Amino acid sequence: MRSILALAFLFSTLCLAGDDIAAGTYSGKWEGNSGASGDFRITVTGAAGAFKAEVMFTAGGEEVKPKVTSLDITGSKIKLVYAYEIQGNQLESSVEGERKGNALEGKYKARLLPDAGVIDEGAWHATVAQ
């Protein structure tokens, strides 16, 4: 009996860890290795094979709504790239993450365009809005 319960618990844990990303709004925070941080939101619309995404984050207390230039959602994993401007500078961020339960979490890298290299990188997490 104990082994059946243990297997059931293990199976349910594995299922939660690998939930597919679904349409919805995921809100949370980002934190850079530079010490900067802010709010972060991804809104996913559509269905598998035809997903679209919008992103919003705050930087220095200002709300930034970048243009998503690339999106790949495969199962529980998300990869997206978005472009934006801050204080006259053109930037691009690449984000990778995975759904775990009712949250998405992952890493990001921000770079100054056209080719100045990575200016910050860090982690982000966002929970699906109920």
At residue 130, the pLDDT reads: 64
Say if residue 105's pLDDT is above 70. yes
Q: Give 107's strand partners.
A: 96, 123
* Domain annotation for the chain: domains and CATH numbers: 20-128 (2.40.128.120)
**What are 37-84's pLDDT values in tens digits?**
999 999 999 988 899 999 999 999 999 999 999 999 999 999 999 999
Q: Is the pTM of this model over 0.75?
A: yes
User: Both tokens of residue 30?
Assistant: 């980002």
Q: Give 108's strand partners.
A: 95, 122
Query: Nearest 10 degrees: CA dihedral of 9, 12, 18, 24?
Result: -140
What confidence tier does 12 reach under pLDDT thresholds 50, 70, 90?
Answer: very low
- Separation between Cα atoms, residue 63 and residue 65, nearest integer Å: 7
**What are 113-130's pLDDT values in tens digits?**
998 789 999 999 999 986
Is 123 exposed, middle or buried, given 0-12, 13-18 or 19+ CB atoms closer than 10 A? middle
